[in-house]
Structure 1
Amino acid sequence: MTTGRDYRGMTAEQRLADRRERLLTAAYTLFAAAGFTATTIERLCASARISNRAFYECFTGREDLMRAVYERCVEETLLAVSKAIGEAPADADSRVRAGISEYITFVTRDSRRARIMHLEVRRAGDILTTHRQRAVQGFTEIIEESLGDAHGGLPGRTHLLALGMVGALQELLIEWVLADERPPLDHLIETAVHIFRRCFGS
């Protein structure tokens, strides 16, 4: 009777999870360094030390792998931003400033994360558009929740302004990723806070 374990004492499920994690780690570096377009499945497999056949046991293709990497980056960022907002003073201005500051600081702490979230996911094509829109929605909802009733005088506009705020943050991070001389993070933060205050009149 077979036990379903290999010579390392891992079950089939554990081997699959291990290969998947190694591919995620390889993709996190290669998609950010060489870029999504230039990173082949063969190169990913070589970096992860698995076979091409094993790749397709974990993911349907490069786009599926990029989706998984991107969603992990987004989840980690959402958690960090939510925590920062939760620990900030209760007024809307302080909460949103804390969220903006943490978003920029957390994302840029590892330039691979910044590049994947704001540049390479777009290069992956239309197949990831829905996932990118879902991420934008998540960050937009955080801004709206942070504002609470502070800007109730803008019926119907708060959501659109929050959406515009997320768009501004993304463009600032794209500038940071692509710039030959990256602007200081405090400049990005103060610019984003200024945009927020002008949008919401705080």
Structure 2
Amino acid sequence: MPEKVPNAGMPGRKRRSTAPHEQQLPSGRHGLAPRFVTANQRDRIVDALVDVVFSLGYQAASVERVSARAGVSRRTFYEQFEGREDVFLRACDEAGARLFAQVDARRASGTSASEQLHAGLEALLDGLASEPRVAHLCVVAVLSAGPQAIEHRDTQMRAFAGLLDEIAREHDGAPLPPLTAEGIVGAVYDVVYKRIAAGQASELPDLLDDLHGFCMMLFRHASDPRPE
């Protein structure tokens, strides 16, 4: 997954949804390093696309509209990205990598499988709730952004299924059956999708106990001896 570009925001400016992005650099000579300027432009373009997609949908996120929102020219846009799909994929990949790292780090704090699942789910729900626009982009808008975006989403979902396998291996000595891991991730995704699509991302942490109970039910079922 692509490396996270450091946020190069300019402090002290209030964000306005109808104005160029708050991180826009001053025009003319400013003495800033080219690498800093490039990182700033990239961040602004990505953030602008997230904003436009959240407000108007992916199909409305034209290069012209995103460039205007970011406060950059079309030329600058194409110096940084190949097109809007390129920006979309970068935004989703960076968000997915960030969320996966948070979940993996939090779940490692648990000792039992139940504790690890609870901690991982808590990190997942908290992370999505803390960035509702990014969550909308990666969970809802991704379905209308084309086959490559779906492929990137599926790759991320397989990574989370692999994390479930790690938990199972640590505690039971064997991975979950493939359909069990896939089913857990798919079910959690469906629940999360419905809340985010309805504008209820802030309520996701309230689902923690129910989702944990559901996941543990499947975990226990997969660990039970089954008839030949």
TM-score (norm 1): 0.85
Q: Residue type of the partner of 1:80?
A: Q
Partner of residue 56, structure 2: 34
1:72 aligns with 2:91: no
User: Which of these residues, 148, 152, 157, is aligned with residue 131 of structure 1?
Assistant: 152
- Indicate if the aligned counterparts of 2:92 and 2:137 stay in contact, CA closer than 8 A: yes
Aligned to 2:80: 58
Higher relative contact order (CA 8 A, sep 6+): 1
SS at match of 2:59: coil
Deviation of residue 28 (structure 1)?
A: 2.1
Q: CA deviation at 1:95?
A: 0.4
Q: Give me the whole-angstrom Cα distance separating, in 2, the residues matched to 1:94 and 1:64.
A: 38
Mapping of residues 116-195 of structure 1, within 5 Å = 116-152=137-173, 157-179=176-198, 184-195=203-214
What is the letter of the counterpart of residue 31 of structure 1? V
Q: CA RMSD in A?
A: 2.2
3-state SS in 2 of match to 1:37: helix
Q: Give 5+ residue unaligned stretches, structure 1.
A: 1-5
Q: Where does residue 116 of structure 2 map in the other structure?
A: 95
Cα displacement (A) at 1:109: 1.7
**Cα distance, 1:72 vs structure 2:** 1.1
Q: 1:131 to 1:92 in 2, by over 3 A?
A: same
**SS of match in other structure, 2:58:** coil
Which amino acid in the other structure matches residue 159 of structure 1?
P
Residues 1:175 and 1:86: Cα distance change in structure 2 (over 3 Å)? same
Indicate how the Cα distance of structure 1 residues 129 and 178 shifts in structure 2: closer, same or farther if over 3 A, else same: closer
| 8 Å CA contact retained: 1:169, 1:192 | yes
Check 1:104–1:182 CA distance in 2 against 1; reply closer, same or farther (3 A cut).
Answer: closer
Measure how far apart 1:180 and its partner are: 6.5
State, as a whole percentage, how many aligned pairs show the same letter.
24
Q: Is the 8 A contact 1:80 1:102 kept in 2?
A: yes
Tell me if structure 1 keeps the 8 A contact 2:132–2:202: no
What is the deviation of 1:17? 2.4
Q: Give the structure 1 partner of residue 37 of structure 2.
A: 15
TM-score, normalised relative to structure 2 = 0.76
Note the residue ranges of structure 2 that are not aligned, 5 or more in a row.
Answer: 1-27, 222-228
Aligned equivalent of 2:23: none
Q: Distance in 2 between matches of 1:118 and 1:44?
A: 20
